[in-house]
Amino acid sequence: MLLPFSPSPLPPISAAWLARPSPAIAVDLLGCTLVRQFEDGSTLRSLIVETEAYAPDDPACHAYRRRTPRNAVMFGPAGYSYVYLIYGMYHCLNVVTDAEDVPSAVLIRAVQLQQEPPGDRSPQPLARLGAGPGKLCRALQIDRSHSGQPFAPGQPLWLEQRSPSLDQQMRQGAIALHQTTRIGLTQGADSPWRWYIRDSAAVSKR
């Protein structure tokens, strides 16, 4: 299933809206728009269809043990990006949430691209390009240089609210949300902090 993109501009999501516990944000970000603005000024919009929450006292959270240079942004205020390199070859994009000094974030695991990203790329279904945290960063050309930056219009990345019609469909259950345990973890694997739009073509298997 492909979600409909809004034909009209949607309001940006504020840092204040993101200053809540990460599980709540993970649910609320489903159906919202991730906007990538490239250096030439062009933009590429994607609908968020799969997320995971990471929180304080969560063994799976990068900030679980202590503050380090890598995870420092998670200790800061909500509304900033946290991008890290995993397995030496893939980047993962997070939205920092909750209050300052409460290290938490939401991992964007899958998006539905509105159009083909710029650059030479072998023709591939858009749903595939955004299926997986590493793949969506590759498609949107997101790397660690984008970590620690605010989500705000005019920046390389920002977020926009759900369209009213999509919000209504999700609240009425016409678009089903699912909640499961998180993927690929060795610790904290029991917390049911993964959410996705069930029938989306872009979510991870399971």
Partner DNA sequence: TGAAGGATTTGT
Partner DNA sequence: CAAATCCTTCAC
Binding residues for DNA, per CB under 7 A? Answer: 52, 54, 60-63, 65-66, 68-71, 74, 82, 84-90, 92, 94, 105, 107, 132-136, 144, 182-187, 204
Residue whose CB is less far from DNA, 167 or 188: 188
At its nearest, how many Å lie between DNA and the CB of residue 12? Answer: 23
Min CB(43)–DNA separation in Å: 22
Quickly tell me which residue has 């006292």 as its tokens: 57
- Exposed, middle or buried: residue 65 (CB in 10 Å: 0-12, 13-18, 19+)? exposed
Helices vs strands, H then E, count in the chain: 5, 8
Pair of tokens at residue 79:
């509304």
Specify the residue, 35 or 83, whose C-beta has the smaller distance to DNA.
83
Give the angle 115-120-121 at the CA atoms, nearest 5°. 65
In sequence order, which residues have a C-beta less than 8 Å from that of residue 42 and are 6 or more positions away? 118
CB of 62 to DNA, least distance (A): 4
3-state SS record for 36-55: EECCCCCEEEEEEEEEEEEC
| Nearest-5° Cα angle at 28, 26 to 29 | 70
Closer by beta carbon to DNA, 56 or else 150: 56
Using DSSP's 3-state secondary structure scheme, residue 138 falls into helix
Distance (Å, rounded) from C-alpha 104 to C-alpha 136?
Answer: 21
CB of 38 to DNA, least distance (A): 21
Of the two residues 62 and 178, which places its CB atom closer to DNA in the complex?
Answer: 62
From the CB of 28, what's the least distance to DNA, in Å? 17
173/206 with CB nearer DNA: 206
